[in-house]
Amino acid sequence: METLKELLSYKSGLTGIAVIVILSIAAIYSYFAFQKYIALWRNTNYWSLYPSAVPPEWVSAFNPHSAVPTKWFKPINVLKKELYGSATNITYIFKINYKWDVPPNDVKIVINATYTKFAPAVIIKIYGPKFKVTAIQDTITNLPNVISLNNFDEAKNAIMNWANLNNINATLPTAAIFRQKGTYYITVTFVGIGKFKASSKLLVDGTVYGLMGTDVFGRDIFIYTMLGLPYGLLIGILTSIIAATWGTLYGLVSGYFGGWVDRVLQRILDVWYSIPGLPLLILLTILLKPNIWLIMVLIAVFSWMGVAKVVRSMVLQLKNENYVLASKAVGATSRWIMLKHILPQIAPFMMAQVALGVPGAILTEVSLDFLGLGDPNVPTWGWMLHDANVYGAAVNGYWWWVLPPGIMTALVALGFALIGYAMDVILNPRLREV
């Protein structure tokens, strides 16, 4: 508690704690808010609905008509008509108020129908300013669940034929349709015999998307940057705690018992110090294909040595303090002395070591994921950067894909580094400014 108070009196300590507190709150929030997207992380099918690798919406802030935002549309009206016999006609009408200078990347129409006997037919028509075109006219069994005007051949051919007949010069269907600003209506009609249920919604794949854009798979970068936060914090803190705990125990035993125990343990420590961590970590991850928990343990295995060294040298001093000697004189056991007298004294140092260890731990984990060796089912910043690198983010200038994960990693590391530095100054009074 005393240390915490002192920590807050330092500018760097205060900044660090503020950063970590804000990030932790954001982490808890995003974990619960975006929970369902964790399972969708590798589901490229789900994300293929969305535009691939488009920048965030705010890039067109100064020129709002220059980029089309990605937006879901719900029908403004549903018309249901009983036809002769037992036939039913359900029409969904979508209204798009098009006010952008460029055509959208794509328009996707999601159709769903449940029927008993006869598959209903689907007719999709597009009404633009002074024109009308029929894009789809087919039974639903021949149609995919998501109809892309640019990529589904039937729709594409129909629209391009119409464009050719009317001398419209365009390479893509959406470019042929959205040539000017104005109001567009798209109608989706289901016609079927017997009872059936249908639903439809429409997505305009824009040239910009949301707060942070999308990656090449169409994944929302904002969601996954935020989801990386709980994992990043968890990995960093837990790994560091494992390493610091083991290091403290090791240093405690080594320093307290001294003699041959100390000599053997120090020798092992020296050997461990000279083992190159990352190459071996890489090797182990290739072989074990570990999940996220095992990765944390593996990283900790290669990062506890510093703590052990510091703790040992502290214990060497503490074990000759008068109160320890007094305790020994009245017959306290070694365990009692270590736990009751020495451990509380080194606890603040351990905390500092935990804080100082977090940046290294998180950077290592991000690096492993960047190499494609981490747990693929966990949406981490390292995986985002891995995908960015593999899919040529630098060549194509997808800065919105590279910046957020890196900055967030750095922010977490920075927060803990600030706390660590401040604690270092508090615990080593010599560094204090006079």
Partner 1 sequence: MIKAIVIALFILASILTFTYPLLSLVPWLLLLVIGLKYNKQLTLMILSRVVDSAIVLLIVLIVTVALFGGTIAQIKKAMIYESVKRTVMSNPQLVQKLGSKINEVIKKLAEQQIKAQGLDKPWYANLPNYLMSVVTLDLRSQVLTSNSGSRLVRDIIMERLPNTVLLFTTATIITAIVGIALGLVAARKRGSFIDKFVTFAALISASFPMWWIGMLSIEIFSYQLKLFPSGGMLSVPPPKQPLALALDFLRHLALPLLTIVAVSFGGWAYVTRSILVGATKEDYVLAAKARGLAERVILIRHILRPSLPPILTMVALSIIASLSGAIITEIVFNWPGMGLLYWQAIETLDVPVVLGLTYMFTLIFVVTMLILDVLYIILEPRLRR
Shortest CB 278 distance to partner 1, Å:
4
Least Å from the CB of residue 140 to partner 1: 44
Residue 397 CB, shortest distance to partner 1, in Å, is 6
Site size with partner 1, rule: CB under 8 A: 46
Establish if 189 lies at the interface with partner 1 (CB under 8 A): no
Residues 218-277 that bind partner 1 (CB under 8 A): 267, 270-271, 273-277
Contact 310, 348 (CB under 8 A): no
Report the alpha-carbon distance of residue 401 to residue 222 in Å, rounded. Answer: 10
Please say which residue, 75 or 359, places its beta carbon nearer to partner 1.
359
Residue 172 sits at φ, ψ, to 5 deg, of: -125, 150
For position 359 contacting partner 1 by CB under 8 A, the verdict is yes
Note whether 389 binds partner 1 by CB under 8 A.
Answer: yes
348 is a site residue for partner 1 (CB under 8 A): no
- Judged by CB under 8 A, the stretch of 33-41, 62-70, 142-150, 370-378 that binds partner 1 is 370-378
Q: Measured from the CB of residue 88, what is the shortest distance to partner 1 in angstroms?
A: 55
414 is a contact residue toward partner 1 (CB under 8 A): yes
Q: Which of 371, 376, 391, 427 binds partner 1 (CB under 8 A)?
A: 371
Min separation Cβ 7 and partner 1, Å: 17
Does position 426 interact with partner 1 (CB under 8 A)? The reply is no
* Residue among 165 and 287 whose Cβ is closer to partner 1: 287
Centre a 10 Å sphere on the Cβ of residue 22 and count the other Cβ atoms it contains.
Answer: 12
Q: CB 319 → partner 1: shortest distance, Å?
A: 22
Residues 25, 83, 278, 325: which binds partner 1 (CB under 8 A)? 278
Q: Does 63 bind partner 1 (CB under 8 A)?
A: no
390 binds partner 1 (CB under 8 A): no
Residues that bind partner 1 (CB under 8 A): 267, 270-271, 273-280, 282-284, 286-287, 359, 363, 366-367, 370-371, 373, 385, 388-389, 393-395, 397, 399, 402-403, 406, 409-414, 417-418, 428, 430-431, 433
